[in-house]
Amino acid sequence: MSYFLYNNKKVYYDIKGKGTPLIIVHGNSVSSKMHSGLANKLKQVFQVISIDLPGHGKSERIEEWPIDFWWENSNAVFELIQHLQLKKVNLLGYSGGAQIVLNVALEHPDVVSNVIADSFEGSVSVPDFAQNVFEDRANTKKSFLAKLFWFRMHGRDWEKVVDNDSKVIYEHNRQIKEFFHKDLSEIKCPLLLTGSKKDEYVDNFDVFYNPILEKVPNAKFILYENGKHPAALTAGDEFIQDIIKFINK
């Protein structure tokens, strides 16, 4: 297994395939195991690099997660880029990982060629979700299938990981709200926004994506008929072909 150090903690990453580097960043409460199937398909075209964000999956645990979670973890992704001595990368983030890859593009534009941001709720934390996250997660944790799912993502201490995630979602909404330190208009690389009409968490992508499309001149939006949340993992080969075309255009 491969690791690099970020803030003196071991962070896990995995590399599959050869070619143009494509880093995939997972969403909240999960790990890179979530997108292993997608990585196995994309490795036929790209060098696919997956990261378990600090405190997740096979990465070393962190007692106190940073409240500015989506910005802080963009620095971890950049540290991975530096560790691998990559000059230019493509970035794909889904759900909460989308805000992370957008932060990488904002903070470190010189190393980013293209960004795919999938199935996320825009630039600002959604109050209803954040304020109810503890109750919602408590109910979800009663499900055997949910427990099994999170165990597969993180191992025996999955509940602590999920609870840490709930805390940062709640506290970020209470204290910060904004996901980005810079205005999205500063993104200069091509940006592809994606989502599914049947997403069970995001019911109107136009509300969240249109302000971004207005700010980023090189942005486009694809809404899939099929799939759920996130589209990257549920929309099938149509999503994969669109990603290949977007990066290799």
| Other CB atoms within 10 A of residue 68 CB | 18
pLDDT interval class at 193 (50, 70, 90):
very high
Instruction: Identify the DSSP state of 183.
Output: -
pLDDT for residue 203 is more than 90:
no
What average pLDDT does the segment 208-219 reach?
Answer: 95
Q: Which residue has the higher pLDDT, 150 or 129?
A: 150
Fold for domain 2-123+182-247? Rossmann fold (3.40.50)
Task: Quote the Cα angle for 103-121-165, to 5°.
Answer: 75
**Three-state secondary-structure class, residue 177:** coil
pLDDT for residue 249 is more than 90:
no
Q: Sketch the domain layout of the chain as residue ranges.
A: 2-123+182-247
Amino acid 61 reads R
DSSP string for residues in 94-129: ETHHHHHHHHHHHH-GGGEEEEEEES---SB--HHH
